[in-house]
Amino acid sequence: MIPLSLLGRGHSNGLLQRLSSLRPALSAQRSARARVSLVASLGHLTLCAGLLLGANAVQAADADEVKIGFIVKKPEQAWFINEQSAATELGEQEGFEVVRLAGEDGQKVLSAIDNLHSQGAQGFVICPPDVRLGPAIMNRAKQYNMKVVTVDDQFIGSDGKPLADVPHLGMSSYKIGQQVGQAIAEEAKRRGWNLEEVAALRISNNELPTAKARTDGATEVLLQAGLPEANVFDSPQQNTDTGSGFAAATPVLSKNSAFEHWVIYAINEESVLGGVRASEQYGLNADQVIGVGVNGSGAAFAEFSRDKPTGFYGTVAVSSTAHGRESAQNLYQWITTDTKPPANTETSGKLMTRDNWQQVRQELGL
């Protein structure tokens, strides 16, 4: 496991620096070539000589002009907006172009790849809308000879195992889930709740391995802390957003009206917020609910900025800035130096609450 602290924001290897310092020289060479080409046509040089000069210009452009795609499953969510911006910013610093694209379903992802190919991109970073699309996405990328790295959600093959040859960068999901469980257990203790009388709303997405690992990690810690297994209620969600969290939570709350105290957890803070909104609609107060999410994105900042606390107690924050930067950097290095990125990089998180969110936000460069 590689801790987040090792994924330094300004990380850049010597070769990248050398490439940057070569860039002005390459541009000067290119304008010199353009001048030669003008003189050549004016002077009626042979067609053959003109073709040779043209071929040279194309080669130089190839070496200097790297373009990558950054495709995300939920382009409207703050986590992904920040990831894409961080990648774009890195591209501006290092001298490569990042094309931000939305891939909310399989069809959109395949068109995004076609689009990237027609723009001359050499590869893309992707958080897929469904991890089982991995083999289809890789087929399309191979047709175009594009390099692919995944971020956040790792592809799985037809055998249900991760596609290990596609480099991946994501959260250390089980551990982060355990941090969620720990935060909930500590807050329940602080409020003096008897865990035997508490219900857990587990908004689950078991088709997505990173979601399952996070909710499993949280459940493990809560059971160890004394929550009875019979009090854990699964609310399967269709997606990974607030709307699907809300829809999943509503029937579970109504069916279990005997419980006064609820804890809520899920793959991410967007889904937990859906559960918290459902608990409010159901009539539960903020002091009856402890929701803890994952991400530390704009969705959590907005919630912590409200005048009064809500049932959304906290979130385990991970740097979406580092995810965006590092995945783009890995791909760029692969394209320019032919160094394949590590097979799997796992990042860690830190609990963010209403009390410390601004400080943690700063620490994580969000």
Question: What's the token pair of residue 64?
Answer: 């200097």
| Residue of 19, 267, 290, 322 interacting with ligand GLA (CB under 6 A) | 267
Closest-CA residue to 131 (of 161, 172, 169, 99): 161
Told to check if 83 binds ligand GLA by CB under 6 A, we report no
What's the Cα-to-Cα distance from 230 to each of 195, 196, 235, 250, 263, rounded to whole Å?
12, 10, 14, 19, 14
Told to check if 268 binds ligand GLA by CB under 6 A, we report yes
Contact 215, 266 (CB under 8 A): yes
Q: How far is the CB of 241 from ligand GLA (least distance, A)?
A: 8
Residue 255 and residue 95: Cα distance in Å, rounded? Answer: 56
Residue 163 and residue 160: Cα distance in Å, rounded? Answer: 9
Give 193 or 246: the residue with its C-beta nearer to ligand GLA: 246
Give 215 or 240: the residue with its C-beta nearer to ligand GLA: 240
Residues 1-60 that bind ligand GLA (CB under 6 A): none
Q: How far is the CB of 318 from ligand GLA (least distance, A)?
A: 6
Give 231 or 268: the residue with its C-beta nearer to ligand GLA: 268
Told to check if 357 binds ligand GLA by CB under 6 A, we report no
Give 210 or 215: the residue with its C-beta nearer to ligand GLA: 210
| Residue of 7, 19, 68, 79 interacting with ligand GLA (CB under 6 A) | 79
Residues 133-152 that bind ligand GLA (CB under 6 A): 152
How many residues line the site for ligand GLA (CB under 6 A)?
12
What's the Cα-to-Cα distance from 56 to each of 25, 33, 53, 97, 336, rounded to whole Å?
15, 9, 5, 22, 19
Residue 248 and residue 202: Cα distance in Å, rounded? Answer: 10
Residue 141 and residue 127: Cα distance in Å, rounded? Answer: 15
Residue 102 and residue 73: Cα distance in Å, rounded? Answer: 6
| Residue of 148, 184, 195, 294 interacting with ligand GLA (CB under 6 A) | 294
Contact 253, 264 (CB under 8 A): no
Backbone angles phi, psi at 272, to 5 degrees: -65, -40
> Which residues does residue 148 pair with via DSSP β-bridges, in sequence order?
124
Give 153 or 326: the residue with its C-beta nearer to ligand GLA: 153
| Residue of 127, 156, 266, 273 interacting with ligand GLA (CB under 6 A) | 127
Give 90 or 227: the residue with its C-beta nearer to ligand GLA: 90
| Residue of 103, 123, 170, 291 interacting with ligand GLA (CB under 6 A) | 170
| Residue of 204, 210, 330, 333 interacting with ligand GLA (CB under 6 A) | 210
Residues 6+ apart with CB under 8 A from 70: 83, 84, 87, 88, 98, 99, 100, 101, 124, 125, 126, 324, 328
Q: How far is the CB of 170 from ligand GLA (least distance, A)?
A: 5
Give 268 or 329: the residue with its C-beta nearer to ligand GLA: 268
Strand order in the sheet with 147-151: 97-102, 67-72, 123-127, 147-151, 168-171, 344-347
Told to check if 171 binds ligand GLA by CB under 6 A, we report yes
Give 73 or 147: the residue with its C-beta nearer to ligand GLA: 73
Told to check if 279 binds ligand GLA by CB under 6 A, we report no
C-alpha R_g of the chain: 24
Told to check if 327 binds ligand GLA by CB under 6 A, we report no
Summarize as ranges the residues that interact with ligand GLA (CB under 6 A): 79, 127, 152-153, 170-171, 210, 240, 267-268, 294-295
